Amino acid sequence: MAHKYETVAADIREIISTSLAPHDALPSERDLMTRYDVSRMTVRAAIAKLVDEGRVYNVHGSGTYVGSIDLFSKTPKLTSFTEDMTSRGYVASSRPLALARIDADEDIARRLGVPVDTECTHLRRLRLADNNPMAIEDVYLPRTVMEIEQLHLDQSLYVQLTEAGHEVHRAEQEIQAIMLSEEDSRLLGVPNGSAALSVERVSTSRRGLVIEFARTIYRSDRYSFHIAVTRDNEK
Amino acid sequence: MAHKYETVAADIREIISTSLAPHDALPSERDLMTRYDVSRMTVRAAIAKLVDEGRVYNVHGSGTYVGSIDLFSKTPKLTSFTEDMTSRGYVASSRPLALARIDADEDIARRLGVPVDTECTHLRRLRLADNNPMAIEDVYLPRTVMEIEQLHLDQSLYVQLTEAGHEVHRAEQEIQAIMLSEEDSRLLGVPNGSAALSVERVSTSRRGLVIEFARTIYRSDRYSFHIAVTRDNEK
DNA sequence: AAGTGGTCTAGACCACCGC
DNA sequence: CGGTGGTCTAGACCACTTC
């Protein structure tokens, strides 16, 4: 383990999961200082990380406590379809439906932040969970990010993007309810006109460059979206 | 301004908005130390806050940079319907549809974490934006949180809960696409069978007590849900 | 009043980036 | 190589909660 605060954080995680219940108090920061023989700032860095993970919360003047959350704890994290399905207990797979070079229409260009008619790569896939259709995904990549010839359909797109120097760091997502088109209903194996969840995502690198625009349409009978939010009572 | 790091953060925000563009570099931390005559930790606390707000990002070994424009939504924040509509530029209002004391059924009891048949307060409201129907909201409160007689329909529910010592601090939300019932379609003024966004929310206090369970059904032609997510490339 | 987390100082060395 | 952010020390005082 590289840094001290990480080892402290890891140890506190262990303590929490083995001997503490939600809303139990952690040892005080000064206690933890002597216990791990580190400075208070290191203890606070460790706790700050755990707070960020949603595992504990602070109460000024009182103590640090174990969070109530369970499985759905995490602060919203950007996950790939595969990661998402795996964490839900499914085996993810996919079937390519289309792969083509296209010119960005107005909508796609706006999302990608490029001029209309910019050449892009379009990948359309049926996404499966335990071999059952779960979603239809359309991904649009500017040619400057990845050429169509570079794309390997049998590998994780995120891994390929990372290897090409375009690691996704942040994304804005827009979630809507839509009614499925006839084609999409057929692909997903649900009645025509069913409601579905549309998640549109614009992903950017750490430097703020737009890497992809993706629209994923999930069948509503099998999929829902979880997020945890906190209320910042600050300015 | 109470704390030094807040005044530093406020000043940096000012610098950013008046004289820096996205991806421009901020002055270095050591520079800011001498500029504001504070310790480096204070500078870092200020920058940490700005990072949390999504205004800047760090690149180890290189510098701190202004984040890309994307105006809003950093870490998802819990907002009331009124706050949500206000930030979208609408005037929010509501029309009560029902207010009653009920016994929790299995579903509601599970969400509230109370035994079945626990007495609860149920409030159903039509929520309007610029006087147009936008959503239907059902809120369930355990009696221990708020008695039906204490509830004033003309006041913000969150304000009343806070004043009663039940400040909402955190919530878990589940977002689904559903098909509207005939009654709900009529109330919202959309065709029967339209798709809609259902947001179910379990709100808890800082101490982890469940305060409310709410289900809000938004018309899909007028409403979408925005969230920003980051990818933590850590263990 | 005692104990807690929140802020702050004035240093130090390490890891990484770009030239 | 020099400059940057990342981690860390060993203190200090403040603000808040609890009794």
CA distance B153 to B150: 10
Element (H, E) at A136: strand A132-142
> Quick check: B188 and B181 in contact, CB under 8 A?
no
Which among B41, B168, B175 has the least Cβ separation from residue A175?
Answer: B175
Closest by alpha carbon to B86, among B33, B138, B135, B128? B128
Q: CATH 3.40.1410.10 in chain B: give the residue spans.
A: 81-219
Q: Does domain A4-66 fall into CATH 3.40.50.300? A: no
Average pLDDT over residues B61-75: 66
Q: How confident is the model at residue B11 (pLDDT cuts 50, 70, 90)?
A: very high
What pLDDT does residue A106 have?
Answer: 94
CB–CB of B230 and A175 under 8 A? no
Average pLDDT over residues A105-132: 93
Question: Tens digit of pLDDT for each residue in B83-109?
Answer: 888 878 899 999 999 999 999 999 999
How far does CA B177 lie from the centroid of its chain? 20
Q: How far is the CA of B8 from the C1' of D14 (A)?
A: 19
What pLDDT does residue A134 have?
Answer: 95
Q: From B217, which residue of chain A is nearest by alpha-carbon distance?
A: A177
Average pLDDT over residues B25-43: 92
Q: Which two tokens stand for residue B181?
A: 């019932």
For residue A219, pLDDT beyond 90:
yes
Q: Tell which strand C nucleotides have any atom below 7 Å from a protein Cβ.
A: 3-12, 15-18
Whether the CB of A24 is below 8 Å from some CB of chain B: the reply is: no
Average pLDDT over residues A58-76: 68
Chain B residues 12 to 41 with C-beta below 7 Å from nucleic strand C: 37-41
Q: How confident is the model at residue A1 (pLDDT cuts 50, 70, 90)?
A: low
What pLDDT does residue B122 have?
Answer: 95
Q: How far is the CA of A163 from the C1' of D3 (A)?
A: 28
What pLDDT does residue A43 have?
Answer: 95
Cβ of residue B122 near strand C, that is under 7 Å? Answer: no
Closest by alpha carbon to B53, among B35, B75, B71? B75
Q: How confident is the model at residue A231 (pLDDT cuts 50, 70, 90)?
A: low
Burial of A36 (0-12, 13-18, 19+ CB in 10 A): middle
Q: How far is the CA of A29 from the C1' of C1 (A)?
A: 20
Q: What's B81-219's CATH class?
A: alpha beta
Cα angle at A196 between A192 and A200, to 5 degrees? Answer: 130
Report the nearest residue to nucleotide C16, CA vs C1'. B61
3-state secondary structure chain B: CCCHHHHHHHHHHHHHHHHCCCCCECCCHHHHHHHHCCCHHHHHHHHHHHHHCCCEEEECCCEEEECCCCCCCCCCECCCHHHHHHHCCCCEEEEEEEEEEEECCHHHHHHHCCCCCCEEEEEEEEEEECCEEEEEEEEEEECCCCCHHHCCCCCCHHHHHHHCCCCCCEEEEEEEEEECCHHHHHHHCCCCCCEEEEEEEEEECCCCCEEEEEEEEEECCCCCEEEEEECCCCC
What pLDDT does residue B195 have?
Answer: 95
CA Rg value for chain B: 22
Q: How confident is the model at residue B167 (pLDDT cuts 50, 70, 90)?
A: confident
Q: How far is the CA of B182 from the C1' of C16 (A)?
A: 61
Q: What is the dihedral of CA A130, A135, A141, A145, to 10 degrees?
A: -30
For residue B214, pLDDT beyond 90:
yes
Burial of A221 (0-12, 13-18, 19+ CB in 10 A): middle
Q: How confident is the model at residue B178 (pLDDT cuts 50, 70, 90)?
A: very high
CB–CB of A174 and B224 under 8 A? yes
Q: Tell which strand D nucleotides have any atom below 7 Å from a protein Cβ.
A: 3-12, 15-18
Q: CATH 1.10.10.10 in chain A: give the residue spans.
A: 4-66
Whether the CB of B10 is below 8 Å from some CB of chain A: the reply is: no
Average pLDDT value for chain B: 86
Q: Which residues of B touch A206 (CB under 8 A)?
A: 57, 59
> Quick check: B124 and B136 in contact, CB under 8 A?
yes
Q: How confident is the model at residue A30 (pLDDT cuts 50, 70, 90)?
A: very high
CA distance B187 to B197: 15
Question: Tens digit of pLDDT for each residue in A125-152?
Answer: 999 999 999 999 999 999 887 777 777 8
CA distance B56 to B49: 9
Average pLDDT value for chain A: 86
Task: Choose between A226 and B119: higher pLDDT.
Answer: B119
